[in-house]
Chains A and B, each alone.
Chain A
């Protein structure tokens, strides 16, 4: 059975939207980072869907790069969360607003 590319795309968009909503509404920085991961993985899904559809390998290669970059980003993010927790003893984004106006 061949799954049409539009199915991949629809799932990808849905996942992406979920990620966006998560970033906007969740307060915990860890969860926000996870939601960003979700957005990236939604993109990965789209890439794989297209790569399969067009039989072009670039998309699958791209996915590897995205995963690597995402890992690096999360590593930095977690390090920052640790640092913030040390100075401010919080992991909630709405506690972080000394910089404003």
Chain B
């Protein structure tokens, strides 16, 4: 028996290798360096992320698969790489000062962030269901640990445990779905082959296919925080360290959507009618519940958690549209959401000050007079999240809803628009508190570090820039979704 080792190009997974290498390097340096000299992990992580980003640029416009068809090498994956790298880099920047207050500026934090990013990349580029499963778990396990980073804090522990139990529970469903799909396709796990194999398979395997589809929706629905799989979100977002909450809200969601879109578009085009119907209902329920419950929240992190649920709903609308504009809007919105949400969390960290002392929305009262620049940035992010022009949030929502209109889902678009009107209520409340209420108490100085200032500048400028000039990003996204023949 001869063993043929398939040919492969290492550079097609260059970003993965870089991130893995950097993460291991950080762990080694952490273990070997003397105590108290651990200030350079953020810089190291940023360096690694920067190199990974460069590699991603170099890879741009490559097509096809590599590693014996296990990995997609295409612009869809690369676009998401860039989103993940951006999200992680911004998370690294908002983390340091915040962690130092807790005495948790540890090497493993950054290593885990990089590992989680690696997992996201696996998810976005996985061409084989093993890769997708592996990516999902690499990402999730790292995030479970990160959510429980504050070991001494009961909230952080509880958040991590809830996330772990429910995450593992839903992964088991997803896994069961994969097994069913494996059976239905007659023993294939390649995404590329799925559609053809499912078409060939007889009526006998139909129940397996349907079960697989249902369980895929459950598994990814959990990760993107869609109703009714959303219930972990508020608790975990509230309890986890704020920087990790931000990371989860943007990175994990984006990665799950990347894999979700790929699986639905590539493996289940034949069942489009069915999954569109289900996602239609999920999207409506998710948007509505997220927005309505957000109104009653007084903890800013919890409010942003419900906001993130609502945004999952909008993004599901993009999947329901299932046309080219829908896919484009998904990509555009995820990038826009990364910027505006991380910006908002940057402000939350700054306003929270030492050890999250100020997390109530009422702590934002009078911020406009005490820290005008900070308040202006927060107002901008709130407007963007609410979808008020000319921010990126507006353009993104416009793309999403016009994709739905184009696909003929007028009512879905109407419900979406109505929802975004409701959402303005709670986003604007923050603005109102900042500008129209006297300060509750002298909140003291806010520690602007260069890193946090950079984050706020980058995100604020980004939100406006891609809102006013969305053309460049739109073209990139169009370029990225060309890989889906069924759209």
Contact = CB atoms under 8 A, between A and B. Distances in A.
Contacts of B155: 98-99
A56 B157 CA distance: 42
Interface in B152-202: 152-155, 157-162, 164-165, 168-169, 172, 175-176, 178-180, 182-183, 186-189
Given A62-B189, A84-B158, A23 B164 contact: no
A42 B180 CA distance: 12
A61 B130 contact: yes
Given A36-B168, A99-B239, A84 B161 contact: yes
A-B interface, 6 closest residue pairs, ranked by CB to CB distance from nearest: A54-B187, A56-B187, A39-B172, A99-B235, A46-B179, A69-B137
Interface residues of B, number: 42
A59 B187 contact: yes
A11 interface: no
If over half of A's interface residues share one DSSP class (helix, strand or loop), that class is named, otherwise mixed; here it is helix
Interface stretch (B42-50, B101-109, B143-151, B357-365): B143-151
Interface of B: 128-130, 133-134, 137, 141, 144-145, 148, 151-155, 157-162, 164-165, 168-169, 172, 175-176, 178-180, 182-183, 186-189, 234-236, 238-239
Contact of B168 (A43, A51, A73, A100): A73
Contacts of B165: 23, 29, 32-33, 36, 77, 93
A63 to B, nearest CB: 10
Given A69-B137, A98-B155, A100-B235, A76 B187 contact: no
A80 B239 CA distance: 14
A76 B187 CA distance: 32
A16 to B, nearest CB: 6
22 contacts: A23-B169, A29-B161, A33-B168, A36-B169, A39-B176, A43-B172, A47-B179, A50-B182, A53-B183, A54-B187, A56-B186, A58-B189, A61-B130, A69-B133, A84-B157, A84-B161, A87-B152, A87-B154, A93-B165, A99-B158, A99-B159, A100-B235
